[in-house]
Structures are given as structure tokens and as C-alpha cells.
Structure 1
Amino acid sequence: MSFTLVEPRTVRLNRSEMAVPASNQRFIDKSTQSPADIILFDLEDSVAPDEKNDARRTLIRALSEKDWEHRTLSIRVNGLDTPYMYQDIVDVIGGVGDKLDLVMIPKVGTAADVYAVDMLLTQIETACGFKKRLGIELLIETALGMKNIGEIAAASPRNESLHFGAGDYAASTRMRTVNIGGPHPDCGVLTDPNEDGLREVHWDDMWHYPVARMVVAARANGLRPVNGPFGDFSDSEGLQVYAKRSAILGCEGIWAIHPNQVKVINELFTPTEKEIDRAKRILAAMEQAQKEGKGAVALDGRMIDIVSIKQAEAMIKKVDLI
């Protein structure tokens, strides 16, 4: 193992992140009862340009007046290349920053983007006397951001999570798709003909590389990797496969864009009773092995060792957060 140890920046449950348009009062009202781990109020893509000012006022009022109980709250501000971002931070953070936990920066391209937001947050927190430091969520959705993802992830001690935005990433890299996440019927390869001249299609995952790269950059810097939404909210089966694949790649969770998705997402990113039981038995078996001076033992016909302890402990820690 490297002498450089990587510890999680902030331990926070992040299985589901429910995106809520800050311009929609009805959706905001409903989100007060959402089982999502994080509520993300969006001031960016889901809010029309002529509604930005009203959306800020609506959000400030909602954060001030409503009871959000234990919920983790975040806002997605507009991009640094827009005339809206500065006002998003000054008005919302300056007004109700003590009600929030996180700020999401969209379309992050370089570490300098993170420095800029960090500076504004620091000045506002100091001026307002806020005792709680806001964390930063980083949305990677451009070719530039993916290229610089390691530097971006390490750019601020406020950084908590990396997120992948498939739609804008596809546009930035000129991918031939208009889908937000999910498969593409033309993304695959043909096998060589068999003895009967028949060939099969092996489907590729067009999102594997960017998501895997995001996971590596996040974990190397102690951040939570979170995948973006599954766009077809009417396709429960597709959502389940998408969530399972994200979990297998190492993601902590994914976004939800419809309330009906949240329960499914939470369940799929929660270890099953079978997984929890095996993790506990691994820890018990390895504890006994260490007492006997052994480095590895067999459990259920499979070899387990010190690496198995790390995997089991990670699973138990996640369960403890739920």
C-alpha cells in the first residue's frame, strides 16, 4: 500500500439524490417528505432564464419556512460562464446558507472553477458568521472536465463528491446519442461468424469509461462518486439495471429525477441481508484467523484474506449510516 493514505472527506449517505426544480413550488413542497438521502434544488438547467430571479426567491422562502428535518440539502447553481452563478451564491447562500449542506458546481472544467466558488463561499460564510462549512459537489459533464478530473477532485477541502452528467457530456464529446444515460442500439460489436455463418451482437456500455474514470478520481481523493439520472422514469426495469451497474462500478448512488425512482434507488444501493450476513461472517472468520496467526482462511469454499476485511468493513460502515 502507498504511504499516502486516502480517507473519506465527509461521511454522508448518498444513495439517492433527488433533483428538484427551484422554480416549482409544488415539487419543493413534495420534497419535504422525500425519502431521498439528498435533496438537490436546481437553479440551472430546469429553470428557464426568465425565471431565475423568481426561483431564487422561491427557494430562499422554502428553505427559511419549511421543516426539512434531518434531510441533507444541496443547491445546483448556474455555470461559471453564465450571468446567473454569482447571484445564485450571493443571494441563496448569503440568505439561507446555514440551512444548506452542499453546493453543486455544474460543468466544472478546471480546478480554477472550484477555487472561484470556494472563495465566494468562504467570504460569505465569514461575513454572515455561519458556523457550518458548506461542502461542494462537482458535476463533471464536459470533455474538459473529464480531462482535468483529478485536479478538480483535489482542488478544495470542501469537495465531497463527484457526479457524472451524461447528457451534457454526450454533447461535449459529440457522442451520437440524444439519450440521458441508458443504452444505445448501435453501440455494440459483432462476433466472428460461427460454423453456421451466424453472428451475435455483444452490446457495449457507452458510459463505462467516463463513469469508471470518475469513480477512480473520486476514490483517490476521498470523495463520493455519484452517477447521474436514468432518463426514462417510466422504465423501472431499466432503472434497476442502471443502478446495479453504477453500484458495481463503485458509485455511492445515482440521481433521481422523479419521486417514484427514489425508493428503488435506495433499495438497490442498500446492502442486502445476505450481503450483510456474509460481511459479518468474513470479519468473524478473519478475527479468528488472526488469533491463530493465519493470514488467510477458507469461507464457504472461497479464500478470504486481509482484503476481504476491507471490503466487509466498507459494507458494514454503509449499513451503519442507513
Structure 2
Amino acid sequence: MRKSLQLQAEMAQEFGACVFDVTLDCEDGAPVGGEAEHAALVVELAKSAAPDARVAVRVHPVDHPAFEQDIATIVGGAGGRLVHVMLPKTESAEDVARAVKAIDAAGAPRLPVQVLIESPAAVHRAFDIAAHPRVQSLSFGLMDFVSAHGGAIPSDGMGVQGQFTHPLVVRAKLEIASAAHAHGKVPSHGVVTEFKDKAAFGAAATRAAREFGYTRMWSIHPDQIRPILEAFAPTANEIHKASHILLAAADAGWAPISFDGKLEDRASYRYYWQVLEKAHQTGRQLPDEARGWFSPRP
């Protein structure tokens, strides 16, 4: 956890923006019987992080005995330093409501929650879960999802190739992405465990971004962060085109324009603005004319 926060600070300095969140893990990170001590460590790390750090926490599931203690200790002790709380094993909107009630009681009534969808039933309820106003993002928990099928999905459904081809896994990914977009939330692609095969991982990240509609992705190793940024960031050509279309549109008072022989109007302007937003958030270089549309970076 300390190394992740250090890497976040180093890359923020390099890119001029904080380009990834660090999620301090209680669900898998805390030893059995040591949940309280681990929660206290999370508080210490969150409070000692750099002022502009983006730090989150994954607590235990809402039905775990340590859940209430996690929320009381971590949100109560460091809620002002957290950007969100990650809720694993979320099965329903009622689970979200229970978590939000605990977070509010701990003194953070506006702290967003992100949820992990990890079972067939949760996929079925993804649209209801995404509709909750405090939900910020939906993530796909691949390995638990495959395990929940009792062997009906082979083990390669968890692999870098099979997770993009097995029909049940593909359906789950698309349902989650669709539910998130339907409610204006962020769909976050799950982990790829083959972190040593950089080419395969880069291809997987690109497919998640370009084919499956995901706009963020989890990493489990530092070597995965830069390939994710490359896969999810707009290309230089996309940034160039978006900048020139929006500059021409602004000159036209946002009326429809002809650009390279093609009609552009407010619907496409919205798309190209999103391209520039994503470029800014991923630390890409913007043309001088477009840079003034965004707050100066520290």
C-alpha cells in the first residue's frame, strides 16, 4: 500500500495530474482476526498521503462481521481524505443503501461509493444498483463471477483471452457497462492477472476500452498502470481532431459546422469534449489553444 501511494505521487509529478487512484484493501488485505489493526493502518496511510493524492478503501462486504467496524474506523477516522469507498460482493441496491447509511453515520454524508459486481444475481440487478444516487462506479469482479458458476465456466474464462470470448463473461461485462452508462456512472473493467505478459495485457486493456465500453480499469501490479493509461487515453490524432472541431465550433457560436466535408453539431461537440476531458485526466498533452479550457495543473 505504501509503494502504491509512492508510485501515485511520482506519476502525478511526471504527468502533471493524478492519473490513477490507490485503493487500500481491507477485504483481501486484512489477515483473519486482524481486521481492526488493518483498518487502523488504512486510516494512518490515508491521513499521511499527499494532499492531492486520490486514496480510496475497499472495505469488507456488507454481510461480513467486520463491515461496520471498517466503516466506523476508516470513514470516521479518515473520511475527509477518501475519494470513495469500494463495496465488494454487492448483490442489490439494498446492500448499497445499508452501506450508505453506515457511511453517513460515520460522518461522511457525501462520500461516493463504488461497487463490485461479482455474481450472476448482481449482474441481473446491475441497473438497479447503478441507479442509486451515491453509486459512482460499477466494477466487474471476474474471478468471483466465474467461481459463482460452480464449474460451468472453465478456468480459462478468468484468463486474458477467455474473459473476452466466453459468452457468459462477455454478457456480464456488457450488462455492467450498459447499466453504468444508462445512469451516468463509470464502468470500471476488472483485473487481468497475467501481469508479466505485457503485450497480452495491453491488448486486453485496449479491448476493454474500445470494444466493451469501459472507461477505467483496475491494475494489480505497477507494470499494468502505464499500459492502462495508454489504452484508455485518446490518441494524438483523436486529440488533434477534437481540439480543432471544438475551436471551429466555438468560433461559430456552437452552431452546426462543416469539418473535413462532414457535418458536426452539438451531439458530436459533446463527444469531442469528452475526448479532451479524457485526455486531460490521463495526462496527455493538449494543443496550446485547447489547454486553456482546463484548470492549470499544479
> If the length of structure 1 is used for normalisation, what is the TM-score?
0.75
Distance, in Å, in 2 between the alignment partners of 1:34 and 1:207 is 35
Distance, in Å, in 1 between the alignment partners of 2:8 and 2:257 is 48
After superposition, residues 52-67 of structure 1 pair within 5 angstroms as 52-64=35-47, 66-67=48-49
Q: Is structure 2 residue 273 aligned with structure 1 residue 313?
A: yes
Residue 213 of structure 1 is matched in structure 2 by 175
The alpha-carbon distance between structure 1 residues 31 and 307, as it changes in their structure 2 partners (threshold 3 A), is: same
Q: Secondary structure at the match of 2:161?
A: coil
Distance, in Å, in 1 between the alignment partners of 2:50 and 2:156 is 35
Q: Is the 8 A contact 2:4 2:22 kept in 1?
A: no
Residue 137 of structure 2 is matched in structure 1 by 161
Q: Which structure has the larger Rg?
A: 1
Distance, in Å, in 2 between the alignment partners of 1:269 and 1:69 is 26
1:253 partner letter: R
Residue 153 of structure 2 is matched in structure 1 by 175
Q: Is the 8 A contact 2:245 2:259 kept in 1?
A: no
Residue 5 of structure 1 is matched in structure 2 by none
After superposition, residues 1-322 of structure 1 pair within 5 angstroms as 20=1, 27=3, 30=6, 33=9, 35=11, 36-64=19-47, 66-125=48-107, 133-155=110-132, 157-173=133-149, 174-177=152-155, 180-184=158-162, 207-248=169-210, 249-284=212-247, 297=258, 299=260, 304-321=264-281, 322=283
Q: Is the 8 A contact 2:157 2:169 kept in 1?
A: no
Compute the displacement of 1:181 (Å).
4.8
Compute the displacement of 1:217 (Å).
0.8
Q: Secondary structure at the match of 2:188?
A: strand
The alpha-carbon distance between structure 1 residues 307 and 171, as it changes in their structure 2 partners (threshold 3 A), is: same
1:221 partner letter: H
The alpha-carbon distance between structure 1 residues 209 and 252, as it changes in their structure 2 partners (threshold 3 A), is: same
The alpha-carbon distance between structure 1 residues 232 and 211, as it changes in their structure 2 partners (threshold 3 A), is: same
Q: How many residues align?
A: 272
Q: Is the 8 A contact 2:55 2:83 kept in 1?
A: yes
The alpha-carbon distance between structure 1 residues 166 and 264, as it changes in their structure 2 partners (threshold 3 A), is: same
- What is the alpha-carbon root mean square deviation over aligned residues? 2.7
Distance, in Å, in 2 between the alignment partners of 1:34 and 1:214 is 32
Compute the displacement of 1:152 (Å).
0.5
The alpha-carbon distance between structure 1 residues 47 and 311, as it changes in their structure 2 partners (threshold 3 A), is: same
2:238 partner letter: E
Compute the displacement of 1:278 (Å).
1.2
Compute the displacement of 1:236 (Å).
0.7
Compute the displacement of 1:53 (Å).
2.6
> If the length of structure 2 is used for normalisation, what is the TM-score?
0.81
2:123 partner letter: M
Where does the alignment leave 5 or more consecutive residues of structure 1 unmatched? 1-19, 21-25, 188-202
**Percent identity at matched positions?**
26
Q: Is the 8 A contact 1:79 1:105 kept in 2?
A: yes
Compute the displacement of 1:289 (Å).
7.5
Distance, in Å, in 2 between the alignment partners of 1:284 and 1:243 is 31
Compute the displacement of 1:296 (Å).
6.7
Distance, in Å, in 2 between the alignment partners of 1:229 and 1:262 is 11
Distance, in Å, in 1 between the alignment partners of 2:159 and 2:252 is 44
Distance, in Å, in 1 between the alignment partners of 2:21 and 2:178 is 22
Distance, in Å, in 2 between the alignment partners of 1:90 and 1:169 is 29
Residue 290 of structure 2 is matched in structure 1 by none
Distance, in Å, in 2 between the alignment partners of 1:181 and 1:314 is 31
Q: Is the 8 A contact 1:243 1:253 kept in 2?
A: no
Q: Is the 8 A contact 1:90 1:124 kept in 2?
A: yes
Compute the displacement of 1:50 (Å).
3.1
Q: Is the 8 A contact 2:84 2:113 kept in 1?
A: yes
Distance, in Å, in 2 between the alignment partners of 1:34 and 1:231 is 24
Q: Secondary structure at the match of 2:9?
A: coil
Distance, in Å, in 1 between the alignment partners of 2:168 and 2:158 is 11
Deviates more, 1:206-215 or 1:94-103: 206-215
Compute the displacement of 1:104 (Å).
0.6
Compute the displacement of 1:158 (Å).
1.8
